[in-house]
Amino acid sequence: MKTFGGPVLFLDRSDINTDEIIPAKYLTEITKEDLKPYILEDLKLPGFDPNGPKTKNARVIVSRANFGCGSSREHAPWVFEVNGITAVIAESFARIFRQNMFNCGMAAIELPKADLDQIFTHAGHDDAAMSIDIEAGTLTMSGGGKNKTFSFEISPFDKALVLAGGWVDFADQKY
Amino acid sequence: MGKTTAEKIFDAHLVNEPFPGTKVLRLDAVLCHEITTPIAIDDLIRRGKDRVFDPTKIKAVIDHVTPSKDTKTATQAKILRDWARRHDIKDFFDIGANGVCHALVPERGFIRPGYTVIMGDSHTCTHGAFGAFAAGIGTTDLEVGILKGVCAFRQPKTIKFNVTGTLPKGVYAKDVILHIIGKIGVNGATDRVMEFHGSTIDNMTMESRMTLCNMAIEAGGTSGICQPDMTTVDYLWPFIQGDFAGKEAALADYSQWRADADAEYDQTIEIDVTVMEPTVTFGYKPDQVKTISEIAGTPLDQIYIGSCTNGRIEDLRIAAQILKGHKLAPNVRGILSPATPKIQQQAMHEGLIDIFMEAGFCVTNPTCGACLGMSNGVLAEGEVCASTTNRNFMGRMGKGGMVHLMSPATAAASAIEGKIADPRKYL
């Protein structure tokens, strides 16, 4: 199965929306790969640079509540995927974004605010990284010489989608 | 124990429950537009599965950028057009017949009470106005919907909104939904259906109910749902008169989808509209709302009237009533995009288009265009737009632009004054 983990990009704000993740004007691109340069282009956060090395190197995004709200555009998970980011950890997700992630075989993982607060203490560490074990339901945050493991739950269906690599093949076999 | 409308629809459409908490539903309508569908079509071709489950249940429209503005949008339109022809999808709406999907599809009578509806578009929740379960989904869910006619959902909980009272002067469905979103927040209804009840809703037209349900997603809601009643039957009657002996029979049938009196809700929220004022957003999230008295006077550059939220005939009538005999203030430009060709024609016959044009508005063809900053009214950096649309995210109508969401009445009053203005003095 797909492995999840690597350097973490911290986006410390709630309600990061799909238009910030990928502006609508790029929805005319026909291939996912064409979306790559435009990741998080309209997101304005102190210290965040959509073209900076932290964005380029990231494999995991950590954010706050209601991540991915707004449009149904699957271009939001796709722009993450083509940039190598295959997991988002947040306090909560907008429904459509969350399902789009799992439908693509990627992971949208919810953690309680207290756990996220601990994870965000690593935001200043250049070596901040996470490893995620979907089957075990655990993730380990490391950085600055420290590491800590957290447990999470995803629905059995979403877990099956990640393990199957997405919804289309799964559905075509069953329905 | 009784059931909510969504629970009744889920039970009637259940294919199976592949895992605890996940329900796969049979779909009555799969709606497609040219932005989110072409990638699904390409993927089906690539997988050797270029099929559709039932061409009569698929409705397709080119609406986001139409007529096409460049090679890329022309290619998206072509992929959808070729696919619709290849699979004999009769309900395909191209240039000349096309309009904003969530206005066009109901206008054609395609949505009925009790239906399950999906589309690769977050404002699909609009169709819940008919007592349907209608949810926006992504391209992968759409792809499976096209191929298999099913979609997987978590069983949503339902929040009941009991909306009561007579709408005060200058207050419309748009103000009510902005008020509700302001009250519960942008994730106040995530994984929830927003079921609307009460005397205010009972007295609303279908157009107003669509405005209300349209913005359920802005509170995170899976679907907005209104209770089917005689207003629903009257709206659908031209399409269903062959199916029923009379309107009472249709109402009796559709009433099966009304929530039971003893249905169990996650939450019940009382909304008294009599205390409401015209309501406008101020920030970059739809739950950041102020009353008109708090925000009047904010300078503007553009007025936009249109979209799946407020581009219907009743919206144009209200705006025209205010604009009649007035001109746009010299510091602003105005754009009107009627949501469908039928609405545009009706507005012409009623003289509404004349009123807009004499006020100085540019009247465009029906399209989503400016609402999401794709065409026909994109903002420049630093510009501010008074808009009857549904989303005020940063950059939504153009990079660096600012959007204030409001009713058509407030937008019309703001057009006259060149700044956010109270519509009540013009009514």
Q: What's the 3-state SS for A90-153? A: ECCECHHHHHHHHHCCCEEEECCHHHHHHHHCCCCCCCCEEEEECCCCEEEEEECCEEEEEECC
pLDDT value at B224 more than 90: yes
Of A32, A72, A94, the CB nearest to B36: A72
Domains of chain B plus CATH, in order, are: 5-256+264-270 (3.30.499.10), 280-426 (3.30.499.10)
ipTM: 0.95
A173 in B contact zone (CB under 8 Å): no
Cα–Cα distance, B95 to A90 (Å, whole number): 42
| Model pLDDT for residues B157-196, shown as the tens digit of each residue | 999 999 999 999 999 999 999 999 999 999 999 999 999 9
Residue A26, amino acid: Y
A167-174 vs A156-164: helix crossing angle, rounded to 10: 100
Contacts of B75 in chain A (CB under 8 A): 30
CB-based contact B391 A160, cutoff 8 Å:
no
DSSP assigned state of A84: T
Q: Which candidate, B278, B319, B328, places its Cα nearest to that of B300? A: B328
pLDDT at B70: 96
| Model pLDDT for residues B234-258, shown as the tens digit of each residue | 999 999 999 999 999 999 999 999 9
Three-state DSSP state, A51:
coil
CB-based contact B150 A95, cutoff 8 Å:
no
Residue B55, amino acid: P
pLDDT at A174: 87
Of A17, A27, A95, the CB nearest to B35: A27
pLDDT at B200: 98
CA distances from B309 to B54, B55, B207, B294, B383 (A): 29, 28, 9, 23, 22
By the 10 Å C-beta count (0-12 exposed, 13-18 middle, 19+ buried), B399 is classed as middle
- Closest-CA residue in chain A for B17? A157
Domains of chain A plus CATH, in order, are: 4-174 (3.20.19.10)
Which pair of tokens denotes residue B71?
A: 């090679």
- Closest-CA residue in chain B for A19? B396
Question: Which own/partner contact pairs does B233-237 have at CB distance under 8 Å and 24+ positions apart?
Answer: B235/B106, B235/B206, B236/B109, B236/B112, B236/B130
CB-based contact B21 A155, cutoff 8 Å:
yes
**Most A-contacting residue of B54, B144, B284, B405 (CB-CB within 10 A), to test interface:** B144
**Most B-contacting residue of A33, A157, A173 (CB-CB within 10 A), to test interface:** A157
> What is the mean pLDDT of the segment spanning B270-284?
98
Which pair of tokens denotes residue B375?
A: 């065409």
Of B36, B73, B144, the CB nearest to A171: B144
pLDDT at B1: 87
pLDDT at A165: 83
pLDDT at B300: 98
Cβ–Cβ < 8 Å for A83, A36:
yes
CB-based contact A95 B190, cutoff 8 Å:
yes
pLDDT at B35: 96
Of A20, A32, A95, the CB nearest to B394: A20
Of B20, B372, B396, the CB nearest to A156: B20
A110 in B contact zone (CB under 8 Å): no
| Model pLDDT for residues B5-20, shown as the tens digit of each residue | 999 999 999 999 999 9
A103 in B contact zone (CB under 8 Å): yes
Three-state DSSP state, A60:
strand
**Most A-contacting residue of B15, B79, B126, B140 (CB-CB within 10 A), to test interface:** B140
pLDDT at A31: 87
pLDDT value at B199 more than 90: yes
Of A25, A30, A99, the CB nearest to B38: A30
Q: CB atoms < 10 A from the CB of A65, how many?
A: 21
Handedness of CA B30, B33, B36, B37 (dihedral sign): positive
- Closest-CA residue in chain B for A30? B39
Contacts of B285 in chain A (CB under 8 A): 15
CA distance B246 to chain A (A): 38
CB-based contact B72 A30, cutoff 8 Å:
yes
pLDDT value at A169 more than 90: no
| Model pLDDT for residues A103-154, shown as the tens digit of each residue | 999 999 999 999 999 999 999 999 999 999 999 999 999 999 999 999 999 9
Strand partners, B268: B160
A70 in B contact zone (CB under 8 Å): yes
- Closest-CA residue in chain A for B142? A168
CA distances from B330 to A153, B273, B327, B361, B414 (A): 57, 35, 8, 12, 12
N-terminal to C-terminal alpha carbon distance within chain A: 23
A8 in B contact zone (CB under 8 Å): no
| Model pLDDT for residues A21-75, shown as the tens digit of each residue | 999 999 999 889 999 999 999 999 999 999 999 999 999 999 999 999 999 999 9
Element (H, E) at A6: strand A4-10
3-state secondary structure B229-279: CHHHHHHHHHHHCCCCCCHHHHHHHHHHHCCCCCECCCEEEEEEHHHCCCE
pLDDT at B280: 98
pLDDT value at B394 more than 90: yes
What pLDDT band is residue A1 in, cutting at 50, 70 and 90? low
Portion of chain B with pLDDT greater than 70, in percent: 100
Contacts of B15 in chain A (CB under 8 A): 175
pLDDT at A172: 85
Cα–Cα distance, B300 to B114 (Å, whole number): 42
Contacts of A77 in chain B (CB under 8 A): 138
HSE at residue B351, side-chain half, CA atoms within 13 A, is 4
pTM across the whole model: 0.97
Cα–Cα distance, A120 to A113 (Å, whole number): 10
Of B42, B64, B396, the CB nearest to A19: B396
Strand partners, B387: B304, B405
CA distance A136 to chain B (A): 18
- Residue pairs between chains A and B whose CB atoms are closer than 8 Å: 144
CB-based contact B36 A155, cutoff 8 Å:
no
> What is the mean pLDDT of the segment spanning B355-365?
98
| Model pLDDT for residues B38-55, shown as the tens digit of each residue | 999 999 999 999 999 999
What are the φ and ψ backbone dihedral angles of B418, each rounded to 5 degrees? Answer: 75, 10
Cα–Cα distance, B125 to B144 (Å, whole number): 19
What pLDDT band is residue B91 in, cutting at 50, 70 and 90? very high
Beta-carbon contacts of B161 under 8 Å, excluding residues fewer than 6 positions away, are B180, B194, B195, B196, B197, B198, B268, B269, B271
**Most B-contacting residue of A95, A102, A161, A163 (CB-CB within 10 A), to test interface:** A95
